[in-house]
Amino acid sequence: MDGNTGAQGPRLLSGLRVVECSMLGPGAVSTPLADLGADVIKVEPPSGDYIRSMSWPIVTGRSLLHLHISRGKRSIVLDLRTDGGRSAFLDLVAGADVVVEAMRPGGLDRRGLGYERLREVNPRVVMFTITGYGATGPYRDLPSHGIAYDAWAGTVAPASGPEGMPSIPDHTSIGITAGPLFGTAAILAGVLRARETGTGCHLEVAQSDAAAAFDWLRSETCRAYERPADEVTGNPADGHERRPPGTAGMADGVRYQFYESADGHVLFMASERKFWKNFCAAVGREDLFAGRPGARLADHARGDMELRRELAGIFRTRTTAEWIELGLRHDVPIGPVNTPATIADDPQFAARMPWQPAGRLVADQLPFPVRVVGEPPPAAERPAPEPGEHGEEILREVLGYDAERVARLRESGAFGT
């Protein structure tokens, strides 16, 4: 492992305490809070959260999923089926700002620890529940995993697989990422209101809902197109033709399109006339602009295959880096095309996204992407914990339990057998 601990940014949420009960990926809702300095206490059952063995890769015996999602958190094992375990849990809640329930709907309620019980010991507590399909609706109790929410939301479709059978394509998982991020914003809003009014609340989000909300443009476009054609049209640059929703309407674009470079690909984005003019001048082809000036805004020169072939030949004459330099020098929107394997070599990535090193977090991980200007990005202070790793530390430092009380809880089975 890299021995470098890495620079850690400001602890913006120092003083915020979060008690988390999570299984698998939904625990990501509190990861940004931990990155920003909150004290996140992960309460685990005696068997532990099996996130440590899920997905791939496995790094020194623990899944990268766990190492990323659980970074910066402390772990305590409590058997919430026991009186002692429930009592210690309620003591933690009494001094917490937030309780995160990241499991099937009603998980804590079934243990007698639902929101009504929690607010009895802490009226200001903000409870946040994150589930697959939400706390209501016909799919409420349907078991599921991450891709289900993207498929439900229409953001990923089957691809042709072996022997023509449908297959899961490579894609960006939206629901399991967007749900926690929407949740983080709502949690902080709830805490602000609780500190102002003295009254907490119970928030909940479905990862499926979040996937649909994240992809709002396509679904809202489909909805808009249900209205009469004289009320909802396409863009003036397209003669008001209704193009397919989202990026599907860009497949036959020309001035906004992928092109091969001498050593890879670039994305050309001259949909505004001024950018198209800048490009033509930069490559010494003012004739292209004179013949096809296009509309002032949102003109992709759709379907102009003659121009597309002309541009394809031009873009193959320079490397991707040379095109980026031309874009910077002449104010032309041209972007590099990376993959998850190559993005780390991109100079913009190196300047903005310093790896949080394995020396501190067991695996190299990306930082929280928002920072205080002039300071290093916020970062987790510690790696993802082992089950119960900080149990006695939490009981003594957070709750003030003495050794005798901890011993009694252990004997009662509060920490499992």
pLDDT at position 208 over 60? yes
CA distance 173 to 175: 6
pLDDT at position 135 over 80? yes
According to DSSP, the residues that pair with 43 across neighbouring strands are 76
pLDDT digits (tens, 9 = 90+) for 256-294: 999 999 999 999 999 999 999 999 999 999 999 999 999
Query: For residues 335, 339, 342 and 347, what is the CA-based torsion angle, rounded to 10 degrees?
Result: 30
Angle 206-210-137 from CA coordinates, rounded to 5°: 35
Which whole number is the average pLDDT over 382-399? 96
3-state secondary structure the chain: CCCCCCCCCCCCCCCCEEEEEECCHHHHHHHHHHHCCCEEEEEECCCCCHHHHCCCCEECCEEHHHHHHCCCCEEEECCCCCHHHHHHHHHHHHCCCEEEEECCCCCCHHHCCCHHHHHHHCCCCEEEEEECCCCCCCCCCCCCCHHHHHHHHCCCCCEECHHHCEECCCCCCCHHHHHHHHHHHHHHHHHHHHHHHCCCEEEEEEHHHHHHHHCHHHHHHHHHCCCCCCCCCCCHHHCCCCCCCHHHHHCCCCCEEEEECCCCEEEEECCCHHHHHHHHHHCCCHHHHHHCCCCCCCCCCCCCHHHHHHHHHHHCCCCHHHHHHHHHHHCCCEEECCCCCCHHHCHHHHHHCCCECHHHHCCCECCCCCCCCCCCCCCCCCCCCCCCCCHHHHHHHHCCCCHHHHHHHHHHCCCCC
Region at 99 (left for phi over 0; alpha for psi -120 to 50; beta for the rest): beta
Which whole number is the average pLDDT over 125-143? 94
Which whole number is the average pLDDT over 232-254? 88
Q: What is the pLDDT of residue 9?
A: 73
Which whole number is the average pLDDT over 180-196? 97
Contact 297, 237 (CB under 8 A): yes
Number of Cβ within a 10 Å radius of residue 403: 10
Q: pTM score, two decimals?
A: 0.90
How much of the chain, in percent, has pLDDT values that exceed 90?
Answer: 86
pLDDT at position 359 over 90? yes
How much of the chain, in percent, has pLDDT values that exceed 70?
Answer: 98
Which whole number is the average pLDDT over 233-248? 87
pLDDT digits (tens, 9 = 90+) for 291-307: 999 999 989 999 999 99
According to DSSP, the residues that pair with 205 across neighbouring strands are 130
Q: What is the pLDDT of residue 239?
A: 87
Contact 14, 37 (CB under 8 A): yes
Q: What is the pLDDT of residue 59?
A: 94
pLDDT at position 1 over 70? no
pLDDT at position 10 over 80? no
Q: What is the pLDDT of residue 197?
A: 98
Chain mean pLDDT for the chain: 93
Query: Please, which pLDDT band fits residue 2 given cuts at 50, 70 and 90?
Result: very low
Nearest alpha carbon to residue 5 among 380, 384, 385: 380
Query: Please, which pLDDT band fits residue 6 given cuts at 50, 70 and 90?
Result: low
Of the two residues 90 and 372, the one the predictor is more confident about is: 90
State the residue for tokens 């799919």: 139
- Contact residues for 413 (Cβ-Cβ < 8 A; gap 6+): 79, 82, 84, 85
